[in-house]
Amino acid sequence: MRQYLLSALLASAAGTVLADDPAVESYDYIVVGSGPGGGPLASDLARAGYSTLLIEAGDDQGSNKVYSELNNFNTAGNDERSLWNFWVKHSDDPERERKFEHYVYRQENGSYYIGLDPPAGAKPLGIQYPRAGTLGGCAMHNAGVCSLAQDDDWNIIVNKTGDTSWEAPKMRKYLIQVEKNLYVTNGSTPDHGFNGEFHYSSLAQSNDSDGKAYVSGTGFLSIDTSDARWARQKNMPAVKILQEMAKLTGQNESDVANLVTKDILGNYPNKDEQSSFYAMAQHMDALGRRSSPNTYIRATLNDPAKYPLTVKLNSLVTKVLFSKEGETPVATGVEVMQGKSVYRADPRNKPDTKGPLVQYKAKKEVIVSGGTFNSPQILKLSGIGPADELKKFNITVVKDLPGVGENLDDNYEGSLLALGKSPVGGGFITMLYRTPNAPTKKRNIFTWCGPFSFEGFWPGFPTDYGQNEYECAMVKIGTTSRAGYVRLTSADPRDPPDINFRFFEKNGEQDLQEFVDSANLLRKAWQAAGDAVLPFNEKHPCPGTGAGNCTDAEQREMIKTQAYSHHATSTCAIGGDDDKMAVLDSRFRVRGVKGLRVVDASSFPVVPGAFPVLPTMMLSAKAAEVIIAEAGKV
Ligand SMILES: Cc1cc2nc3c(=O)[nH]c(=O)nc-3n(C[C@H](O)[C@H](O)[C@H](O)COP(=O)(O)OP(=O)(O)OC[C@H]3O[C@@H](n4cnc5c(N)ncnc54)[C@H](O)[C@@H]3O)c2cc1C
Ligand SMILES: *[C@@H]1O[C@H](CO)[C@@H](O)[C@H](O)[C@H]1NC(C)=O
Ligand SMILES: *[C@@H]1O[C@H](CO)[C@@H](O)[C@H](O)[C@H]1NC(C)=O
Ligand SMILES: *[C@@H]1O[C@H](CO)[C@@H](O)[C@H](O)[C@H]1NC(C)=O
Ligand SMILES: *[C@@H]1O[C@H](CO)[C@@H](O)[C@H](O)[C@H]1NC(C)=O
Ligand SMILES: *[C@@H]1O[C@H](CO)[C@@H](O)[C@H](O)[C@H]1NC(C)=O
Ligand SMILES: *[C@@H]1O[C@H](CO)[C@@H](O)[C@H](O)[C@H]1NC(C)=O
Ligand SMILES: *[C@@H]1O[C@H](CO)[C@@H](O)[C@H](O)[C@H]1NC(C)=O
Domain shared by 496 and 596, yes or no: no
Domain shared by 181 and 302, yes or no: yes
Give residue 523 CA to ligand 4 midpoint distance, Å: 44
Give residue 143 CA to ligand 1 midpoint distance, Å: 12
Give residue 204 CA to ligand 7 midpoint distance, Å: 54
How far apart (Å, rounded) are the C-alpha atoms in residues 598 and 590? Answer: 7
Q: Does the pLDDT of residue 202 top 70, yes or no? A: no
Distances (CA, A) of 132 to 78, 341, 443: 10, 12, 30
pLDDT of amino acid 303: 87
Average pLDDT, the chain: 92
Q: Does the pLDDT of residue 80 top 50, yes or no? A: yes
Q: Is residue 202 part of a domain?
A: yes
Ranges of beta strands (E only) in 6-162 are 25-32, 52-55, 83-88, 104-106, 112-114, 123-132, 145-146
The dihedral over CA atoms of 135, 137, 140, 143, expressed in degrees to the nearest 10, equals -170
- Final residue belonging to a domain, choices 562, 583, 609: 562
Nearest CA to ligand 3 atom 12: 156
210 within ligand 5 shell (Cβ under 6 A): no
Domain shared by 155 and 295, yes or no: yes
> Is 145 labelled a binding residue?
yes
Share of the chain above pLDDT 70, in %: 94
Domain shared by 319 and 450, yes or no: no
- What DSSP designation does 280 have? P
Residues spanned by the domain of 472 = 227-279+411-562
207 within ligand 5 shell (Cβ under 6 A): yes
Domain shared by 522 and 470, yes or no: yes
Q: Does the pLDDT of residue 7 top 60, yes or no? A: no
Q: Does the pLDDT of residue 215 top 80, yes or no? A: no
Nearest CA to ligand 1 atom 2: 142
pLDDT of amino acid 214: 31
The set of residues, in sequence order, having a beta carbon less than 8 Å from that of 208 and lying 6+ positions away, is: 63
Q: Does the pLDDT of residue 378 top 70, yes or no? A: yes
pLDDT in tens, 333-356: 999 999 999 999 999 999 899 999
Domain shared by 319 and 435, yes or no: no
pLDDT confidence bin for 1, thresholds 50/70/90: very low
pLDDT of amino acid 324: 78
Q: Does the pLDDT of residue 330 top 70, yes or no? A: yes
pLDDT of amino acid 252: 98
- Final residue belonging to a domain, choices 536, 562, 588: 562
**Structural domain total, the chain:** 2
393 within ligand 7 shell (Cβ under 6 A): yes
> Is 317 labelled a binding residue?
yes
Q: Is residue 480 part of a domain?
A: yes
pLDDT of amino acid 17: 79
For a mutational test of ligand 5's pocket, the pick from 65, 66, 75, 207, i.e. the residue with the most ligand atoms closer than 8 A to its C-beta, is 207
Give residue 100 CA to ligand 2 midpoint distance, Å: 22
What ligand is nearest to the CA atom of residue 251? 6
> Is 144 labelled a binding residue?
yes
pLDDT confidence bin for 2, thresholds 50/70/90: very low
Nearest CA to ligand 3 atom 14: 156
pTM for the whole thing? 0.93
What's the CATH number where 248 sits? Answer: 3.30.410.40
pLDDT confidence bin for 304, thresholds 50/70/90: confident
- Do the beta carbons of residue 506 and residue 91 sit within 8 Å? no
